[in-house]
Structures are given as structure tokens and as C-alpha cells.
Amino acid sequence: MNSQTRLLPLGDFKPADEWQTHVNEIFYGIQGPSIHNHFQTYVSQDHRLAHALAEDYFKQSCKLAEKNQPRFIMEWGVGNGNLAGCFLSHLKSIDTQGQVYPNTSYILCDFSMEILKGARNNLKLEDHIGKFFTIQVDANHMDCFRENTIHKIISNEIWDDLSTKVLLKQDNCLYEEYLQPLIDPNALEINIDSFIKPFNEKNLHRLKAYPDILQFILWERTYQRVDINDWPHAAILQNHIDLLDNEIPTPINIGALATLKRARSLLKLDGLGYTGMDYGMYSMRELNFSGRPYFNLYGGQYTFMVNFELLCDWAKAEGFSSIEKDYQHHYVGKHLKDKVISLVELLQSHHKVQTMDSWDRDILMLKTLDTLNKVYKSNYHYKMKYSSIEGTPDNQRQQIKELTDKLSTNGVPDTVAYISEKEVMQVCVDLAKLGYREQEYSSLFQAPTEPISFVIMNLR
Ligand SMILES: C[S@@+](CC[C@H](N)C(=O)[O-])C[C@H]1O[C@@H](n2cnc3c(N)ncnc32)[C@H](O)[C@@H]1O
């Protein structure tokens, strides 16, 4: 019997968005803040993107005519609450005249009670008690709020989690991607029958007993002919499809579209708009990049890359009159008056990184952090946690522990934190001693060349 025959379906084939939202609801519903054991984001520990957003909010708020009116910011899909904490702390520190911070209330919205519980306990929010609130609400159904009442909406990496269909074009025919979840019952230490029913019913209470099982799901794919006439904004979608090359799976982020619609009606007409950030294909050029990825799995969570070109067209159709799109690195760099990359991008430029054992890569990461910490000074105090992966030999395990203990408490806060060109160049001699070559990392500070990049959209 080969391994294929042992796989057991957990349900039937369904359009990709149906299974995607199904597993994501379970993933976030049972994980809480431990989601960040599976992935990090540019706001889950770092502060630089949050500070850039706070500076923009402050500048724009100061220009508003009604200076002393209460203002509401909403964040959708809040993770561990770090973005809210850093945003509010920075806003308070730059608002030296007390013009904006005292009138601002920050509403953290998420569909997961576990996530909201974790965010409320974030230490960075301790200084802002009474200034923030948490509300359990699905980003697709924000009907419980009054229209035209919110000044600013922010979201980071929620669009890729929301309902996304996948289309494939073949000349004049369109095909939609269908998914089926499968599992190898022999690879698990549980009775599979006790998992299938709660999995299908999304019974979070029962599924909490199996927090790690989602990552063992394998996804079978198939494509079926589809007519898109009853899909949202079908005419805009058809124009978009006409520009696509054949046989490249293209995400159609209908959940992200729903957030644009909701944001448009919640935002005050003279408000400061919706700022949405995520990763995906910046323009038609990247969409038509043959072989580019279009989905990702992190510890069981199912995410789709965001089709920013289509979102811009949809935003216009939803009534936004100003639609700006920028690379996130460029946006953060503008605020720091420098160019930036993330620490992990620097690491990946090391000529030996691809051939290193993963524990040696961990050691290189920790030594790189230590080197950058000579010049990097954060106002936040946080001791980065770094543990060895399973299978790390004793010698390397000991080194990882010693290097982790030595990490500065106000240094680079995360392995995906933004670092500036100036900081990198200040320690280039020490980086060279670790084997980094300047010609290999200096090009990273130019515009992204990969088909997938981190993007910020400002809609007003
Ligand atoms: C990838 S995490 C990003 C968290 C945080 N914004 C960050 O960047 O670190 C996605 C977040 O969106 C939330 N989320 C996913 N789908 C949602 C939905 N339909 N409605 C509200 N929140 C949702 C999850 O619970 C989680 O907090």
C-alpha cells in the first residue's frame, strides 16, 4: 500500500475560499497569540511600520478642522495587539501639545475571542488603558457599527486570510480552483473519528484539544469550469482577466473586497481613510509572472496572496476617490528618511545561507542580531525569545542559548524587523567578518524585484 492510499478525506471538494475560511476560523479560534509561533508579521514585534502609520495619522489629524472632537480608529485583524500598542505609544510621544492622542480611541476588532484575549494582555497596551477597546466581530460583517462614524481604519495581513477564490484562464475558458482536505490518520496520535466531526462543525471547544493537527492537512486541488457573471463586480473582473496570461492561478480576494465596501460605509466622509497592508502581486507585471506562488500554509492556516491590481480597481468602484499603493519597505523608509530591508532579507543574502544546517543558520541570525544591536537602539524594552529547533546538536544548542542570553533588551526586536541602510553600513566591517558581502546585500535596498512583495494601500 503506498502512502497516497492511506490519506483520508476530511470532506468533499469545495471552492478554495470555502475550505480556506473554514480552516482559518479554526486556526485563529484555537491558537490565540500563539499564532506567532507559526509566522511573524511586520507588526507582530517590530514598531517601525506602526510608528510610520502613527506619524501619518498625527499629521493628517492636525489638519482636520474639528480639532477637539472624539476620533475613532479601528484595526481589523489585530493579532497580538503590538501594532495598536506601538501606534498609541508613538502617537502619545509625538503629540507633545496633546492635540490628537487625548481625543483618540482605538478599537481592536477581531473574529477570534482567543486573539482578543491575548491582545488585551499585551504589555505595550498597558499605558493606554481606557484608550482602547476590543470587539469580537467578523471583518466581513461590520453591520453592528453606525455608518460614517470612524475616522481611520487599519489592517495588516488580514486580506490574505479572508475569502479568496482562484481563477485560471485558458484562452476563452475560465476555471475555478477547488480544494479537498486530506489527512494521513497513521501519522497522528489520535483517533481520527474524534477529529472529523468537530473539524467539519468548527467546534472550537473540542478542537482546542488538538492545537497542532491542522498543519498535517494535505490539500488536493482540482479545477472546474466556471461562469463569473454572478461574482461581485463581474465586469471589472472580466476586464482584469482579459489582461491575464493563460494558466497562471490568480487569487480573486473577494473577502478583501468586502472589507473595502464595509470601510467605505463606516468611514466619516472627511475621515482619514482605510490603510490596508498585506503581501501579494503589486501590479499586472507580477500577476503574469509565470510560476509565482499564490498561496501559503503556516501551521495549518491557509493564506492567499493579495491581487493588489484588482483591489485598486474594486476600490475605485466602491467609491474611494484617492487610491494610493506603495511598497511597504518604501513607505517605512520614507518615514525613517532612509532605505530599509528586513533582518531576514539581510540573512538570506549571505552566500552560505542556502547550504547551512538550520541550527547554523540560527547561530548566524543571532550573531547578526548582536552585530546590528551595536548601533540599533529601540525605545521599547523586549528580550527576544529564540529557542533551538528539534534535532539541534548539543554544541550548537549551547551556542544558541548563550547568544540568546546575550541579546540586548533594546535591540532589533524581531527577525523580520525593519533595519535601515545606515544601520547596516555602520556595522559593515563586522558583517563582513560573519561572511556577508556588501555587493550581495546593497542591492536589496533598491525596489523589490520578486513577484511577491509587501504592499501598503491608502484609500480615501
Ligand atoms: C495574519 S494575522 C495578522 C495579525 C496582525 N494584524 C499582524 O499583522 O500581526 C490575521 C488576523 O486577522 C484575524 N482575522 C482573520 N479572519 C478574520 C475575519 N474574518 N474577521 C476578523 N478578524 C479576522 C485573525 O484572528 C488574526 O488576528
Residues in the chain: 460
User: Ligand 1: does its nearest atom lie under 6 Å from the Cβ of 296?
Assistant: no
348-382 in b/e form (b: 16+ CB < 10 A) is ebbeeeeeeeebebbbbbbbbbbbbbebbebebeb
User: How far, in Å, is the centroid of ligand 1 from the Cα of 216?
Assistant: 22
Residue whose CA lies nearest to ligand 1 atom number 27: 79
For 137, phi then psi, to 5°, come to -155, 145
Question: Is the distance from the beta carbon of residue 28 to the nearest atom of ligand 1 less than 6 Å?
Answer: yes
Give phi and psi for 392, each to the nearest 5: -65, 125
- Dihedrals phi, psi of 402, to nearest 5 degrees: -65, -40
Find out whether 57 and 103 touch, Cβ atoms under 8 Å.
no
Residue 159 Cα to ligand 1 midpoint, Å, equals 8
Query: In whole angstroms, what is the distance from residue 407 CA to residue 374 CA?
Result: 11
Pocket test for ligand 1, best of 161, 163, 253, 277 (most atoms within 8 A of CB): 161
Q: Quick one: which atom of ligand 1 is closest to the CA of 139? A: 20
| Ligand 1 midpoint to CA 187 (Å) | 29
CB-facing half-sphere around the CA of 244: CA atoms within 13 A: 26
Question: Contact, 169 vs 311, CB < 8 A?
Answer: no
Kind of pairing, strands 14-15 and 274-281?
Answer: unpaired
Q: How far is CA 238 from CA 169, 175, 178, 290, 304, in A?
A: 11, 13, 20, 20, 20
Question: What single DSSP character describes residue 102?
Answer: G
Quote the CA–CA distance of 424 and 430 in Å, as a whole number. Answer: 10
CA-closest residue to ligand 1 atom 9: 44
Tell me the best of 86, 111, 304, 416 to mutate to test the pocket of ligand 1, counting ligand atoms within 8 Å of each CB and taking the most. Answer: 111
Note whether 277 and 183 are within 8 A (CB): no
Q: Coil, strand or helix: which one is 206?
A: helix
Q: Please report, for the chain, the start and end positions of each structural domain, with discontinuous segments joined by +.
A: 3-30+163-249, 34-162+256-334+454-459, 339-449
Q: How far apart are CA 414 and CA 433, in angstroms?
A: 22
pLDDT for 5: 54
Q: Residue 447: what pLDDT?
A: 79
Instruction: Give residue 64 CA to ligand 1 midpoint distance, Å.
Output: 30
In the numeric block, the cell 498609541 is attached to 88
Question: Is the Cβ–Cβ distance between 457 and 311 less than 8 Å?
Answer: yes
In contact, 402 and 368? CB cutoff 8 Å: no
- What CA dihedral angle connects 97, 418, 46 and 301, to 10 degrees? 140
> What confidence score (pLDDT) does residue 3 get?
45
CA distances from 273 to 211, 264, 323, 457 (A): 37, 8, 10, 10
Q: Answer for the pair 341, 372: CB distance below 8 angstroms, yes or no.
A: no
Pocket test for ligand 1, best of 75, 78, 108 (most atoms within 8 A of CB): 78
Q: Which residue has a Cα nearest atom 12 of ligand 1?
A: 77
How many whole angstroms separate alpha carbon 416 and alpha carbon 346? 10
Rounded to 5°, the CA angle 147-149-151 comes to 130
Q: What is the mean pLDDT of each run of 10 residues along the chain (460 residues)?
A: 69 98 94 76 97 97 84 97 98 96 97 94 96 94 87 98 97 96 85 89 91 92 97 97 96 97 94 97 97 94 97 97 97 98 97 96 97 97 89 96 96 97 98 97 90 97
Give me ligand 1 centre to Cα 80, in Å.
Answer: 10
Say how far apart CA 335 and CA 406 lie, in whole Å: 30
Q: Is ligand 1 within 6 A of the CB of residue 78? A: yes
Q: Is the CB of 158 under 6 A from ligand 1?
A: yes
CA of 158 to the centre of ligand 1 (A): 5
Alpha-helical segments (H) within 121-248: 193-201, 204-207, 234-242
- Which atom belonging to ligand 1 lies closest to the Cα atom of 82? 9
Identify the architecture of domain 34-162+256-334+454-459 in CATH: 3-Layer(aba) Sandwich (3.40)
- Residue 138 alpha carbon, nearest atom of ligand 1: 20
Cα distance between residue 222 and residue 31, in whole Å: 29
**79 in contact with ligand 1, CB cutoff 6 A:** yes
- 379-387 long-range contacts, CB within 8 A, separation 24+: 379/410, 380/47, 380/86, 380/89, 380/124, 380/410, 380/413, 381/409, 381/410, 382/45, 382/409, 382/410, 382/413, 383/407, 383/409, 384/45, 384/411, 384/412, 384/413, 384/414, 386/362
Q: Is the CB of 46 under 6 A from ligand 1?
A: no
Centroid of ligand 1 to alpha carbon of 169 (angstroms):
30
Outline where 318-442 has alpha helix (H): 328-336, 343-348, 358-372, 394-406, 421-426, 428-433, 438-441
CA of 25 to the centre of ligand 1 (A): 10
- Ligand 1 atom 5 nearest Cα: 79
Query: What DSSP string describes 378-397?
Result: -SS-------PPTT--HHHH
Answer yes or no: is the C-beta of 157 below 6 A from any ligand 1 atom.
Answer: yes
Give me ligand 1 centre to Cα 425, in Å.
Answer: 35
**Which of 110, 154, 162, 296 for a ligand 1 pocket mutation test, highest count of atoms within 8 Å of Cβ?**
110
